[in-house]
Structure 1
Amino acid sequence: MQTAAGFPLIEDIHTHFKFTPEEIAILRKLAKEVAEIASSDINKQKIMKWQALNNLISQEPVVFADPENGWNEIIHASELRCVDQLARVWEMFLRKQIYWAKEIKDDKVVEHYFDVPYCYTDTGWGLPLKKEGGKDGGAYHVIPPVKDYERDFEQLEFPEIVVDYETSDVMYRLAEDVFGGILEVRRKTIWWWTLGMTWDFINLRGLDQFMMDLILYPEWVHKMMDFLTEGYLKRLDFLEEHNLLHTNTEGTYVGSGGFGFTSQLPKQGDIIGKVRTQDMWGFCESQETVGVSPEMFNTFILPYQKKILSRFGLNCYGCCEPIHVRWDYVKTIPRLRRVSASPWADKAIMAKELGRDYIISAKPSPTPLSRPVLNEAVVREELRKIIEDTKGCVVELIMKDNHTLGNNKRNITRWVEIVREEIARVYDSHPTKEACL
């Protein structure tokens, strides 16, 4: 059963849902520190920066740096003081928030919430996913269950979500007992990262075969994409009907970079009744089709993604794929707001095309941070070019996809410092804000 994006499966967490007094004391002390940070003026200013960005009135780039797997090199397992595995998960979460605020010092907002997700299972698409490799997070090869469309397609089923309300309630009550009076405990589940579907298609068919199918079996590609789209829409219907959605318009990570703060969508407390997808940010990407022409992408992928994204109030698009070559098609997405500019994207072209009508989610390369000694000259050169190329646009600078920090936790902090220096240099020396108009 899943707990939340990035959290272990609850069935893999050996817990009795009962912490020792010592563990509760540790968690409450950390929670008090988180609450203090959340109420600080600096933190409130960060919220305003994200709101200005998402409302398209930001005048300078907003900065977010996520160590991702590098957290294992920042906060070692041996440093955690709790023993119960669930308590350790919660302790790690709290320590991350504190470290973000005190050491990384980017624009990540520390919220006064402690979110407890539902425990649930997802039945999948009816055929089991099998992989070769993948040990310890390494590369793996999918053994596609859909080997023959004529034979196997009929075996596919729409996924169903099965919520374990009893276990979910036990965990929620435990969180209230631990954090009550310090942090606001909320029921909030991140039900998806991407709604893009090509990942699902490739897990069912295999990457090589999927690419060949675009030429050899185009009618089956359309039939599969139509099936996947219907499955995702049914999933969204289920979440709406059972009041399982929560707004992502505050400090929720949306898209492939950035946070949801905005005054242009409802907040949870402003909604009477059920949260609907139209009250939320949506997100699609199609990284797996990076080798596909823009025209084929527009024929086989985007029309189906637009059916899903049409349900959302604001939308994000893209991750690692270079969006500038697909922009003429991507810009037709309804209510598009945040657009990924990956390390492989031409950010100068994107700045010219997007102007101030969209957020450019600019992602510098994480490679320099993976080395024990940060090459500051390389980092500075890349950042300076990005900031100069996007000067005057609505920009967020996102450091992500870090699999390692070279066992040097200082790398992520120093990267943020260099970003701040380059923003100050470029924006102070070039005061005009119309460069992208």
Structure 2
Amino acid sequence: MEHISVQDRQILRQLAQKQLAFANSPRNDEILKQWDALANGRRENPTVRLLFSNFPNEVVHPRMRCEGARARELEEMLLSTMVGRELFDDDTPISPTFDIRWKTWVHPFGTQPHITKAEGEGAMGFHIDPIIDDLAEGMDLLRGGSFGVDRQATAELEEAANEAFGDILPVRKVMPSLTGMMTNPLVHLMGMENYYLSMYDYPDELHEAMDMATTVYEQYYDFLENEGLLLPTNGISPINQESFAFTAELPTENVTKTTQCWGFLESQETTAVSPDVFGEFVFPYQDRLAKRFGLLSYGCCERVDATWPDYLSKWKNLRKLSVSPFNNEQQVGEYLRGTNVVYYSKPRAEYVTNHGPLDEEALRAYFKGVCEAASGCLFEMAQREVGTIFGDFDRGRRYVQIARECIAEYWKP
């Protein structure tokens, strides 16, 4: 295991002390009460967060001081845990533990994609170089999905953290929501145009591909159960789409079955097809996986307003629904009002990413509409898809403050 220098260890311990202070603060207690209300179906005080996953080059990387590779890995994890609270004063809950995950993986298809990414720090663009041009001819490339766990790498990370600051922040293993993405990895192998054309040209082959991916995920879930790799998905543990697993419906210990865990599904790649086409080529396979979950979080950037009536509403274990700006937000609010499904709002990002000072008047007018749409719903707001805040932490903090003020004025429980 790589040695951590005295200097790097001191930096890590200072950060661990800072995280512990956040975790033990009265403000953290208030935030945990907000999440507890959502978990128990109480419409009280919606949470607001500004998520930085697309701009860590502005809020994490420039503040890193460690030199060793392992120390920098731990430092990045510590800093990332605290960004929301330290820089933006948002409603990110902080745990008095250092959380790591089992290093597991699952690949639903037997071939890996070829992706050309844009160069430069903070660049997010990419281009899919299709490996499959003709689905009928490329079926064999899809066969042979895989999954597994790297126990040694997990143990080495745990040991390094314990040795550096385990007396301050005990190491805790957490598990994110179980994933079951199928259309995304398929599009990464064949491109969007080929994927859409295959619905018409090769429907049987497309069904076969979706069935193969579903089977791999089902086998992966069996593997997690049989290998004792499942962990509670509750409290301050991650759910895909950068949320948290707070719930009163799932166990907090002794998890042995995937039906005791959160799962996550999405199909943003099919947002442009009709609900009937979604129902033919996607829903039956998602439905198989949804039955393996205790609770379900659904959606990324796709429209869910169109697929809710005939499909998504059928899942009785659905508890969190992503509502991106591509939806008729008022309509989704009508669907979810008074239910136990969280209206997980992901507002438009351009108000914070546009050049120049925040247009507070326009932002408040926009947030007013979001809050009115979500009134009567369990409501969680998380600003995702932000590419930059121009390195201006005050800008991010002000954005969160305005969101809170608009919720207080316009959202009605």
Give the TM-score normalised by structure 1. 0.87
Q: Does 1:364 align with 2:350?
A: no
Distance in 1 (alpha carbons) for counterparts of 2:266 and 2:239: 12
- Which moved further from structure 2: 399-408 or 283-292? 399-408
Q: Which amino acid aligns with 1:279?
A: Q
**Which runs of structure 2 are paired with 1:205-284 in the superposition (5 Å)?**
205-267=190-252, 270-271=253-254, 274-284=255-265
Cα 1:324–1:206 shift into 2, 3 Å:
same
Query: CA separation of 1:392/1:106 partners in 2, compared to 1, >3 Å: closer, same or farther?
Result: same
Distance 2:202 2:105 in 1: 33
Q: How does 1:121-136 map to 2 (within 5 A)?
A: 125-136=109-120
Give yes or no for the alignment of 1:87 onto 2:68.
no
Tell me if 1:203 matches 2:184.
no
Which digits, 9 at most, give the CA deviation of each residue in 1:268-322, with x for residues without a partner?
Answer: xx31xx5321111111111111111111001110110010011111111111112
Tell me which residue corresponds to 2:406. Answer: 422
How far 1:398 sits from its partner (Å)?
1.1
Number of the residue aligned with 1:9: none
Identical residues among aligned pairs (%): 28
User: Structure 1 residues 346, 128: closer, same or farther in 2, change over 3 A?
Assistant: closer
CA RMSD of aligned residues (A): 2.2
Query: Greater shift after overlay, 29-38 or 123-132?
Result: 123-132
Mind listing any 5+ residue stretches in structure 1 that lack a counterpart? 1-15
> Alignment partner for residue 377 of structure 1, among 361, 368, 371?
361
Ranges in structure 2 where 5+ consecutive residues have no aligned partner: none
Question: What SS does the corresponding residue of 1:331 show, helix, strand or coil?
Answer: helix
2:21 aligned counterpart, secondary structure: helix
* Distance in 1 between residues matched to 2:35 and 2:215, nearest whole Å: 33
Give the superposition deviation at 1:265.
Answer: 0.6
Structure 1 counterpart of 2:367, one-letter code: L
1:133-184 deviations in Å (ceiling 9; x for gaps): 4434443332333344444323433333343333332222111111222112
Q: Map 1:7-406 onto structure 2 (within 5 A).
A: 17-77=2-62, 79-119=63-103, 125-136=109-120, 137-188=123-174, 190=176, 194-267=179-252, 270-271=253-254, 274-328=255-309, 329-357=311-339, 358-370=341-353, 371-406=355-390
Residue-by-residue CA offset, 1:219-269 (whole Å, 9 max, x unaligned): 1111111111101111111122111222221222314253111121111xx
SS of structure 1 residue aligned to 2:314:
coil
For residue 43 of structure 2, give the secondary structure of its aligned residue in structure 1.
coil
> What displacement does 1:401 show?
1.1
Taking the aligned partners of 2:273 and 2:131, their CA distance within structure 1 comes to: 23
| SS at 2:127 equivalent | strand
Q: Distance in 2 between matches of 1:149 and 1:45?
A: 53
Give the total of aligned pairs. 408
What's the CA shift for 1:32? 1.3
Deviation at 1:396, TM superposition (A): 0.6
Between the aligned partners of 2:81 and 2:403, the Cα distance in structure 1 is 20
Distance in 2 (CA, whole Å) between partners of 1:138 and 1:364 is 19
Q: What's the CA shift for 1:393?
A: 1.5
* Aligned residues of 2:50 and 2:383 also touching (Cα < 8 A): yes
Q: Name the aligned partner's letter for residue 335 of structure 1.
A: N
1:303–1:106 CA distance, 2 compared to 1 (3 A)? same
Tell me if the contact between 1:65 and 1:106 (Cα under 8 Å) persists in the aligned partners.
Answer: yes
Looking at structure 2, the residues matched to 124 and 325 of structure 1 have their Cα atoms a distance apart, in angstroms, of: 27
- The C-alpha deviation readout for 1:53-82, integer Å capped at 9, x for no partner, is 1332232322122122333223443x3221
Partners of 2:21 and 2:274 in 1: CA distance:
50
Query: Structure 2 length normalisation: TM-score?
Result: 0.92
Judge conservation of contact 1:47–1:261 (CA < 8 Å) in 2. no
Distance of aligned partners of 1:37 and 1:81 in 2 relative to their CA distance in 1, 3 Å threshold: same
* Secondary structure of 1:231 counterpart: helix
The Cα of 1:332 is off from its aligned counterpart by 1.1
Kept in 2, the 8 Å contact 1:67–1:412? The answer is no
58-67 or 415-424, which deviates more: 58-67
CA contact (8 A) 2:54 2:124 kept: no
Could you tell me whether the CA contact under 8 Å between 1:373 and 1:408 is conserved in 2?
no
How big is each residue's C-alpha offset from its partner over 1:93-152, in whole Å with a ceiling of 9 and x where there is no partner? 323334422331111101112123344666663224223444344433323333444443
* Alignment check: 8 A CA contact 2:58 2:388 kept: yes
CA gap of 1:34–1:231, structure 2 versus 1, over 3 A, is same
Spell out, residue by residue over 1:361-400, the C-alpha distance to the aligned partner (whole angstroms, 9 max, x if none): 1111111211342221221111111112222211111111
Q: Is the Cα contact below 8 Å between 2:104 and 2:147 reproduced in 1?
A: yes
Aligned partner of 1:202: which letter? V
Contact 2:145–2:213, Cα closer than 8 Å, also in 1:
no
Moved more, 28-37 or 365-374: 365-374
Answer yes or no: is the 8 Å Cα contact 1:372–1:407 preserved in 2.
no
Task: State how far apart, in whole Å, the 2-side matches of 1:152 and 1:424 are.
Answer: 54
Asked if 2 retains the 8 angstrom alpha-carbon contact of 1:17 and 1:170, the reply is: no
